[in-house]
Structure 1
Amino acid sequence: MSDKMRAVDIKDGKGPISSLHIAEVPRPIPRASEALIRIRAFGLNRMDLLQREGHYPVPPFASKILGVEFSGTIEELGAAGGGREGFEVGDEVFGLAYGGAYAEYIAVSTHMLVRKPKELSWEQCAGIPETWITATQAMYLIAKFQPGKSILWHAAASSVSIAGIQLSKADSASEVYATARQDEKCEFAVKELGATAAFNTKTTNWVKEVLKATDGKGVDIIIDFIGAEYFQQNLNTIAKDGVIVTLGFMGGTKLKEGTDIGALILKRVTVVGSSLRSQDEEYQGKLRDQLVEHALPRFKDGRFKLLIDKVLPWEKIQDAHRLLEENKTKGKVICTIL
């Protein structure tokens, strides 16, 4: 096997979409507890856009190559072998990494690998890890979701919210609300994913609508990717003793003048920020185990929908990033490597 491989590189280390290109780079060598995976497909995430532009801090031990989720075949095992999962060379897997998935090969901990079910395609599996683990983390580890609680997911057609809405419904949330900035996406959240209701944040007063739907109580949990732009509205919408989980800042990081934080005390609100990628392997591994136990059976029998908006060959990586930047997708954008 050659000590070189092809990978997506960024000219000058950061830049616009036009800076993305495929280059020859050193092939990773798996450490003792790692496996070398020949990648068949990888998923794109919004953090990839930020990293490409130089706005996303990569963990110091992570590959500088973009991408954290993938599917492929085990080509080689490190000195420790297949780990407790008993993986072998030739096994078909998918998994989560700290970086390096936009490439022909990736070296990743065997504990972060999941066996690829025969019922799912390479493309479907490549879009599971980051998306579903992030939704699981936000709901269970951070917001402490329990059956009977109500929950609101912003950015309803984003991959994480698509996962989260389905998890919430399957695990007996009392109501599952969503927001989006297009009527089509709101309709999608209700008709395709099973949300109780969804509101267009551009054309409706979504705070008023949520409060009306909950008889003025508000929702117990809000999962937010928007940040500063929705901060006040989130405080107005959350119920007493509610939890707001902030996973992104698509709407900026600077609060508007006049923001009233009184609800933090008057409603005893908890606001938590989190990033999955910065967590250590033990933490991520627990979430991987929960994914396997809780969600994988539902992927296999079709109860959970794995929605892919577009599949492109990795040579069209610029087009793939452009799709994400346009913010018109419903589901994952996946690249395949032949």
Structure 2
Amino acid sequence: MSLRCALLGAGRIGRIHGTNVARAVEGATLVAIADVDAAAAGELATRLHVPVVTTDYRDLLARDDVDAVVVCTPTATHHDVLMAAIAAGKAIFTEKPIDLDLRRIEAINAAVAAAGVPMMVGFQRRYDPDFARVREQVAAGVVGEIHVVRITSRDAVPPPRSFIATSGGIFLDMTVHDLDMVRFLTGREITGVYARASVLVDRMFAEEGDWDTAVLTLSLEGGLLATIDNSRRAVYGQDQRVEVFGSAGVVAAVNHTVDRVVSADASGGRSARLMAFFPERYVDAYRLEMQAFVDAVRGGRPMPVTGEDGRRATAVALAATQSARENRYIAVT
């Protein structure tokens, strides 16, 4: 039987997930959409031929013909939305971060465990084929003992001011993906962070109490080290690279370009531009992530990315925020 899904939130990320559930994921059907913006919900429902539209997500949680919810509402709403979905007994896919407060995340995770409902957290980069292949090679021993992980993550387009104000800041919104990737690639926990951050792209970030550029140094179990550099604007396109270096070698994933064609003449060589932004760069990852969620729910298997994964990445992101503010190393427990 197809997993009947309701989309909660029809913004940018909601449109990505909703389109995948409706058109690209096997074993799932998009049966309803909720968004406080009736026009946004209606436009997406029309485009995807979804029969039920509402401005109140609770209407969908009460329906017997909804098996699962895909939560793409603003992070500040997650606690109430997730608690209501848990109480309704729905399977849950939720975008990251689960919440901006560790105590609320722990309460949500405890409620999930008590109710016995499945909940998966959306860290789509785990499903990027290149990054997944890096992890496979690291796990197979290609690099030997891991020494250093390096991640570059630079967005092509800065977020709007309205988003920054409720996002929790660069570390909780953007870097949290990279922190999860460090855990994913190494299989080790992060034990501490030293972060420095600046406003170099747009004064708007400072006005909202945030930064747009950051560099982190991480310590991990076993003495491993990792570095992450972030920017909210890379004028040349979406810059997403990872490298794992160890005693026996190195494995790396390079940037994606709009095509793989290169040319050269007497003036030099040329290659295609990088992907325009994250939706294009991670188109496969978003689809594969949602397929993994649907397959796990239908098969009664454990969620591949758990609430605890979400909690751990958020804990380091909060520590990085503290480190940047206080200019000191912060241990993570």
Q: TM-score range by the shorter chain?
A: 0.3 to 0.5
Q: Which has the higher contact order (CA 8 A, sep 6+)?
A: 2
* Bigger helix share: 2
TM-score, L = length of structure 2: 0.35
TM-score, L = length of structure 1: 0.35
